Amino acid sequence: MINSTKPCKPVKQLTQVGVLFVWLLTLTSQIAYAQQPEIFVHMAAMDSKDQRNQYEIELLQLALSLTQDQHPTPFKLQPTHQADQSGQTHVNLKRTEVLAIKGFYGHNFFIKFSARNDLLKQLHAVEFPLERGIVGYRVSFVANNNNLKPPNDLVQLSRHRTVQGIGWLDTQILKHNGINVFTVSKYDNMFAMIASQRAEYFFRGANEWLHEYRNFKPKYPKLVLEQNIALHYPMPRFYFTAKDNIANAQRVMRGLKLAYESGKFQQLWFNYYGESIKRTRLSQRHIIELDNPFIHEIDPQYQQYNFDIAELRDLEANSVSE
């Protein structure tokens, strides 16, 4: 008679194989999960020709790469429109800001915005000036046949129409200083307005105008850069992220500081903006100072990373002609 209470060897072996299989499956899943990259969301381009965000994307890549040794999980950069669950591509800066605050881009986005007192209360800022203060020096596109006499001060400038984008901090700063500003929503239309003399001035950063000039000059042949004046106001631009994304914000800040200390930050900055700054010739322009009332609550420590006059002189000394 067979004793049914005693398990036979094949059943016992099968049980052991099953336990081993489950253990291996769990381990494989954990390894696969650990190898999944952490997504860092950045600002999307407006179209295939729009390169305005390329510098801060490459800078974010650099900051994360320099801190990778302390973070075993790989990272991956992803533009905002892929992270937007509404299924639309958003490139309007103000709308991007609103969506970021509302959480449309999730938790781990790093998008460059001009710093403002109120924005620091809604998002977490990585308080490192990504453009090193150069964007606060503003030079203007004009039409080549407008025969404008260069203004000496804000009173004279306010007699002319200036065009700027809806939702831009520059727009608010110019209006605060008494300048007559006409706002439009479409980026391309601002250049069209200048070329057709529907507006007299369109101010852009000393680091921004050259790339835009090369893009839009073929379409608007009358577009030129005004050669006599520049506006100046402090306008730091930081990476902003979700309020609770403290650990990754600290990582990005650490990476930016490492990049600066090694000189890699300055080299990237120069690669993108050096030629435009050279051709601006700020030292030869009449500078009109403006107040920026929207950053009075921001810690001025960020200014230690701004470019200085010695750097400007070196850049201009090595200037080339267009």
Rounded average pLDDT over 212-227: 96
- Report the distance separating Cα 258 and Cα 264, nearest Å: 8
- Report the distance separating Cα 237 and Cα 169, nearest Å: 11
At 315, the pLDDT band (50, 70, 90 cuts) reads confident
Q: What is the pTM of this model?
A: 0.82
Give the Cβ contact number of residue 283 at 10 Å: 12
Q: Which domains does the chain have, with CATH numbers?
A: 38-133+236-285+297-317 (3.40.190.10), 135-232 (3.40.190.10)
Give the Cβ contact number of residue 152 at 10 Å: 12
Whole-number pLDDT of residue 89: 38
**E strand spans, the chain:** 38-42, 75-79, 111-114, 124-126, 137-143, 161-165, 180-184, 202-205, 223-225, 229-232, 237-241, 286-289
Tokens of 173: 């700063």
More confident residue, 221 or 10: 221
At 103, the pLDDT band (50, 70, 90 cuts) reads very high
Whole-number pLDDT of residue 188: 92
Whole-number pLDDT of residue 94: 80
More confident residue, 5 or 226: 226
At 23, the pLDDT band (50, 70, 90 cuts) reads low
- Point out the least confidently predicted range of 17-26, 194-203, 275-284: 17-26
Q: Of 171, 163, 159, which Cα lies nearest the Cα of 143?
A: 163
By three-state DSSP, how is residue 162 classified? strand
% the chain with pLDDT above 90: 70
Whole-number pLDDT of residue 130: 98
Whole-number pLDDT of residue 32: 46
At 216, the pLDDT band (50, 70, 90 cuts) reads very high
Tokens of 256: 């930016």
Cα–Cα distances in Å, from 240 out to 47, 153, 165, 210? 23, 34, 20, 26
At 156-207, the pLDDT tens digits run 999 999 999 988 999 999 999 999 999 998 889 999 999 999 999 999 999 9
At 5, the pLDDT band (50, 70, 90 cuts) reads low
Whole-number pLDDT of residue 87: 42
More confident residue, 3 or 131: 131
- Mean pLDDT value across the chain: 87
Whole-number pLDDT of residue 167: 83
On whether the CB atoms of residues 290 and 174 are closer than 8 A, the answer is yes
At 47, the pLDDT band (50, 70, 90 cuts) reads low
Q: Looking at beta carbons, which pairs linking 24-33 to residues 24 or more positions away fall under 8 Å?
A: none
